[in-house]
Every structure is written in C-alpha cells, then in structure tokens.
Amino acid sequence: MSGALRVALADRAAACYRPCGQWAWRFARGKLRGDPMYAALLDPVLLPDRARVLDLGCGKALVAAWLAAAANLFRQGDWPPALPPPPSPVGYHGIERSAADVAVASRALAGLSWLRIAGGDLRHVQLPPADVVLLLDVLHYLEPEAQYALLARVRDQISGGGRLLLRVGDAGASAGYRISAAVDRLVCLARGQPPRLHGRSLDGWRELLDDLALDVHSLPMSDGTPFANTLLLARPR
Ligand SMILES: C[S@@+](CC[C@H](N)C(=O)[O-])C[C@H]1O[C@@H](n2cnc3c(N)ncnc32)[C@H](O)[C@@H]1O
C-alpha cells in the first residue's frame, strides 16, 4: 500500500473519533498512520472477506474504523485497481475492559450496523462465534495461566476453519521490547491499572500456541516503529 493511501485511510477512519474529543481523534490518527499492522490487515490472505470478526481487547475499535474506511473508499471507486478489494466484515464484535474505551468506540462508530462493542474481562467473558479472532497487543496484559485459558477457548471457537491473528512483542528482543513495555506500563498507570505485564519471547509465544495445537505463521510487524512486534497467524491443527 502506498504511503498516500495509508494516510488517506487513516485520516478517514480517525475522523469518526472527532465527536469524542481531540485526544481520541489524535490518538486514532497517529496510531492508524504509524502502525504497519493496519495496512497488513487489509490483505485478504490474513483477514478474509465476509468474516465475523471478534476483536478481543479491542481498545477504541480502531480496526473496525479502519476496515469501514477502506470499504467506503472501495465502494466509491477510489480504491487502487492494483490492490485486492479490502476485506469487508459481516460482523465485528469488540470486547474491552476499559469502560472509557467502550464509550469512545461506541460513540465514534455508532453508524456501523455490523458493529457491536461490549465491556468485559477476557478472562471471564463468554466468546461469541467468530471466523477471525483478533488479539492485537493484548495478551501480555493477562497472567500466563489466563493467556493459556483464553487461547484454549479461542482455539475451540475457531475449530471449524477459523483463524486467530495475534500480535505480540518479542520479550527476547531487548531494546524494541523495552520501549513497548515502557509505553504499556505508562498506559496502565494512566488508567489506574497495575503496570504488570507478562511478555514472552517470540519463541515462547510460538511454543504456547504449539502446545494448544495451533499452527503458526509469523510476520514481522514493526516496520517504521521502534518496537519488536510480530503478527502471528494461527490456525487449529
Ligand atoms: C495496547 S491496547 C490494544 C488495543 C487494540 N487491540 C488495538 O490494537 O488497537 C490493549 C487493550 O487490551 C485491553 N485489555 C487488557 N486486559 C484486558 C482484559 N483482561 N479484558 C479485556 N480487555 C483487556 C486494554 O484495556 C487495552 O485496551
């Protein structure tokens, strides 16, 4: 994807957050412009068209805003013919424990008929059916036993041919991981949450998924950022 398209999409998607205030809008615009993961999610090899997407720890539901912006551009005929059509979900269900983020996402994306955002703790909440489960920069907030238990429930949910997209930091990559962990701890403190993180090395994440009978394909996902992130595409064996 060209840089110009990425910026145009980011700005369109972020515009939904304007009614939620300057901070929400600027955060969305900065994250969508700067994080290479969002462009990757438009690849139908990763995110198939017409999927029921379950976004666990969805934050402000930036993925939904991004997919909606791409689908709008495509419908208007402004999509580059050299690119495959962007995936358009039939449903997007976000679950998030921060009530403030649930409120922002619900207000910003109120016009999307296929969207549902619910408050809840991933350690206890029931998982609705899905074809694609997203766990993007989330799992390291959960204790190791809770990571295992959640992934086991996700695996059962996608056992009929679905997939899990998991973005993780590599705790074995010293500098990049230290930077992202420092940012995450600051966010926890700002939210009044304990700044405890439970990262693993990239090999550790792969072993965890392997233990759960999930086959994994990994794609480095921190180009242009100071972080050490990888996107893992996992499917039940
Ligand atoms: C770094 S943010 C990522 C947000 C989103 N996935 C994205 O990529 O934009 C991590 C999110 O996980 C949420 N989270 C952490 N632990 C959670 C839990 N136990 N239940 C629900 N959400 C949780 C946090 O509140 C936060 O919004």
How far, in Å, from the CA of 112 to the mean position of ligand 1? 21
Please give the model's pTM, rounded to 2 decimal places: 0.94
Tokens representing residue 75 in the block: 């419908």
Q: Does ligand 1 come within 6 angstroms of the Cβ of 62?
A: yes
Residue with tokens 């304990």: 194
Contacts of 85 (CB under 8 A, 6+ apart): 44, 49, 74, 79
By C-alpha distance, which of 158, 180, 154 is closest to 168? 180
- What six digits make up the tokens of 130? 């899905």
191 in contact with ligand 1, CB cutoff 6 A? no
The upper half-sphere exposure of residue 228, i.e. CA atoms within 13 Å in the direction of its Cβ, equals 17
Exposure b/e, 74-109, CB count within 10 A at least 16 = b: beeeebeeeeeebbbbebbbbbbbbeebbbbbbbbb
CA of 96 from ligand 1 middle (Å) equals: 6
Tell whether ligand 1 has an atom less than 6 A from the beta carbon of residue 58. Answer: yes
Query: What tokens were used for 165?
Result: 């997209």
Q: How far is CA 189 from the centre of its chain?
A: 21
CATH fold group of domain 34-236: Rossmann fold (3.40.50)
Nearest CA to ligand 1 atom 14: 57
Q: Which atom of ligand 1 is nearest to the CA of 125?
A: 20
Full pLDDT tens readout for the chain, 237 residues = 888 999 999 999 999 999 999 999 999 999 999 999 999 999 998 999 999 999 999 999 999 999 999 999 999 999 999 999 999 999 999 999 999 999 999 999 999 999 999 999 999 999 999 999 999 999 999 999 999 999 999 999 998 899 999 999 888 766 767 777 787 777 777 777 777 889 999 999 999 999 999 999 988 777 777 777 899 999 999
CA distances to 198, 203, 208 from 144, in Å: 7, 15, 10
Domain ranges of the chain: 34-236
Counted residue by residue, the chain has a size of 237
Ligand 1 in reach of 143 Cβ (< 6 A): no
Ligand 1 centre to CA of 192 (Å) is 14
For ligand 1, the distance from its centroid to the CA atom of residue 148, given in whole angstroms, is 17
Ligand 1 atom having least distance to the Cα of 101: 27
Q: Which of 33, 95, 97, 187 to mutate to test the pocket of ligand 1 (most atoms within 8 A of CB)?
A: 97
- Could you give the maximum distance between any two Cα atoms of the chain, in Å? 47
Burial of 175 (0-12, 13-18, 19+ CB in 10 A): exposed
